[in-house]
Amino acid sequence: MTVGVLLVNTGTPEAPTPDAVREYLRRFLTDPRIAPMPLPMWNIILRLFVLGKRSVASANKYAVIWTDEGSPLDVIHRSLVDRLSERFELEGKGPAKVAYAMSYSSPFIGDGLKDLQNAGCDVAVVLPLYPQGAYSTVGVVQDQVAAAMGSLPRLRSVDVLDHYYDRPRYIEALAKRVRDSGFDCGGTDRLICSYHSIPLKDVAAGDTYVDQAMATTKALTESLGLPRERVTTLFQSRFDKGRTWQGPYLRQTLEQWAKAGVDENIYIICPNFAVDCLETLNEIQNDILPAFDQVNDANGGKASTTYIPCLNDSEDGVEVIADVIERALERRKS
């Protein structure tokens, strides 16, 4: 068998413009797993009230983080694929080809699988770059892979991996990221592990994402040798206020801390993102943390705040993804 690997993430607009963002949001927000209500009614609300306003606001946010090479998410994914390919080629083992795709932007998942097929692969391993798999992330990838398979006759099978939240190599890489950030494991610094929130109805329906997040925080806490009271698990980025979302929330918790005045330095890591994106680069770094700093200073707090970047295309990031892929290939052989 000739095996190809497809790395998948959510996606990014083609440009930081309202038109490009509108098209991206339309694809994203009309996915049945994402939409907050049945699609017939939601499509009307989306068209009349949501897309116009949100596309302008989001375009402004994307413009802040955009680089000369393009969207940070896209740039990092291209680098990650190149570095993984080089690693597997040097070792003389692993998949025949590594590619990447997005759920809601180009290159799309169907196109990525077609590229693997055209490269001579008859088996594909799809890795959604979400260490903690959720109904609204990994589930979307599974949907799109299933939809694409009918037009890919030479791909005999496709395995979609659903998580790697408890892989020792992943936990080790997170712990190293924390230590390298300047976090004082033996002092009084506070560590926040912040995860993207999900609707509580998904949890009630059996989504184990929150359990996976808690397990990651626990494993990271133990790896760093920290007492539990110095580590807090929070959630951010509620999509709408019409549903109840998993909390406690990062923004509100930091607001409460700031009003009380905090002296211990605060470090924030987002373990559920393999690659930095709009949420981490803009929402957390350019919005939530500056707001905390301002209020905390006004209330006499002396804390500093530090965002710890995702693993991205770093050496550790490449090793974590390689470890997950190699484990999946070993399972196929057995």
39 phi, psi to nearest 5 deg? -60, -40
Radius of gyration of the chain (CA): 20
pLDDT digits (tens, 9 = 90+) for 272-300: 999 999 999 999 999 999 999 999 999 99
Whose tokens are 């040097």? That residue is: 90
- Strand 190-196, strand 231-236: pairing: parallel
In one-letter notation, the amino acid at residue 86 is: E
Residues of the chain with pLDDT under 70: 334
Q: What is the pLDDT of residue 295?
A: 97
214 SS3 class: helix
What's the number of CA atoms in the CB half-sphere (13 Å) around residue 80? Answer: 31
Whose tokens are 């180009």? That residue is: 106
Identify the DSSP state of 101: E
207 phi, psi to nearest 5 deg? -65, 125
Q: What is the pLDDT of residue 334?
A: 67
Q: What is the pLDDT of residue 293?
A: 96
- H helices within the chain, ranges in order? 18-29, 39-45, 51-65, 72-91, 109-118, 138-148, 168-180, 200-204, 209-224, 250-260, 278, 289-298, 315-333
DSSP state letters, 227-244: -GGGEEEEEE----SSS-
Q: What is the pLDDT of residue 238?
A: 82
- Strand 3-9, strand 123-128: pairing: parallel
Q: What is the pLDDT of residue 213?
A: 98
Q: What is the pLDDT of residue 75?
A: 97
Q: What is the pLDDT of residue 91?
A: 81
Report all structural domains of the chain as residue ranges with CATH numbers, in order of start: 18-65 (no CATH), 168-308 (3.40.50.1400)
Rounded Cα distance between 277 and 179, Å, is 22
3-state helix, strand, coil in the chain (%, to 5): 50, 15, 35
